Amino acid sequence: MTPTPVSKKGKGKPLPVKTSLNNPYNLQWSPLNKEHEQFILTTLRDKITAVGLQKKRVNTFRDWGNRRSNKKTPKPTEEHQLAPDSTENLQTTPKPSEPCWTSAATRKQLAIGINEVTKGLERNELNLVLVCNSVAPSHMTCHLIPLSKTRLVPACQVPCLSKTLAGLLGLKCVLALGFKRDAEEFADLVASITPVVPPLDVVWAPTDITPKPENVKEQAEEKHTDTAKGQKRKLEEISNEGSEGSPLILQPLKVKKIIPNSTKIRKRKKKGKQK
């Protein structure tokens, strides 16, 4: 058997290598009760239908033109300039608008999709996060668990979220949905869903991240008293040393001479060749 010859192109191609970090913690969404699932889906469906938020798709016609011809149109000279009456007739018709939402103000109050929800959590702009369980692979939404835990944002995984909301919003799928803090139209919806959302379990994140205001005041007073006591002790020790008449007197350091490092290996300068 003779080995198959390797082509010249295959020799110089390096293998693509991607670095990745393994997470020792297996983060999972907290389970949601079936009664709460139906309650969340019905409230979302009723609210979105009442608001009437939907993405309109407009059939746009694009003028492709001639790609091969790179000739520029010549500028009109003074002789060939058109009269002002004729220019009004040659005005171009306005192009059809791009796909847009029925209400831009209500759309800004929501974060639709995994990317928008991730950015909203990083900027601490969201008040509630809902994720669909049909996301594959599952690690695409696992990073939202610690983000929402550290930002103290209630979040849960709702089954059939994409099926119920995609058709109402005029989208193909809705894998994640977030409600912003300044969402006035969805304030009642967030207030009704938040107590139903189960708490997230993150091992390395503490349960109570923000201390109570009373404890904060007490801790600040204790730190203030401890620092004051420490300063008094230092002053008392210094005064005792001075009273005993110790010959040690601290003076500022003065650099008299800088000595080069003797262990450093230096290259000798090459002398020029003598003619």
Question: Are the C-beta atoms of 215 and 155 separated by less than 8 Å?
Answer: no
54 vs 219, residue with greater confidence: 54
Amino acid at 274: Q
By CB neighbour count within 10 A (0-12 exposed, 13-18 middle, 19+ buried), where does 101 fall?
middle
Q: What is the pLDDT of residues 106-136, one digit of tens each?
A: 999 999 999 999 999 999 999 999 999 888 8
Burial of 117 (0-12, 13-18, 19+ CB in 10 A): buried
Distance CA 196, CA 35 (A): 10
* More confident position, 246 or 251: 251
Residues in contact with 159: Cβ distance below 8 Å, sequence separation at least 6, in sequence order: 32, 37, 132, 133, 134
Which tens digit of pLDDT belongs to each residue from 123-179?
Answer: 999 999 999 988 888 888 989 999 999 999 999 999 999 999 999 999 999 999 999
Task: Please tell me the predicted confidence (pLDDT) of residue 123.
Answer: 93
Q: In what order do the strands lie in the sheet with 126-132?
A: 110-112, 176-180, 126-132, 155-158
CB of 166 closer than 8 Å to CB of 173 = yes
Q: What pLDDT score does 47 carry?
A: 93
* Mean pLDDT for all residues in the chain: 75
Distance between CA 125 and CA 109 in Å, rounded?
10
Tally of CB atoms within 10 A around 125: 16
Q: Give the pair of three-digit tokens for residue 29.
A: 């969404």
Integer Cα distance of 185 and 273 in angstroms: 87
Report residue 96's pLDDT band, with 50, 70 and 90 as the boundaries.
Answer: very low
Q: Which amino acid is at 110?
A: L
Higher pLDDT, 204 or 106: 106
CA-CA distance, 117 to 128, in Å (whole number)?
10
Is the pLDDT at 79 greater than 70? The verdict is no
pTM higher than 0.85: no
| C-alpha separations of 71 from 67, 92, 170, 204 in Å | 10, 21, 42, 64
Average pLDDT rounded to a whole number, residues 189-215: 77
The pLDDT score that the predictor gives to residue 126 is: 94
Match 């991730």 to its residue by tokens: 118
Q: Does the structure show a pLDDT above 80 at 192?
A: yes
89 has pLDDT over 50: no
CA 144 → CA 23, 154, 170, 195, 202, distances in Å? Answer: 14, 11, 25, 19, 11
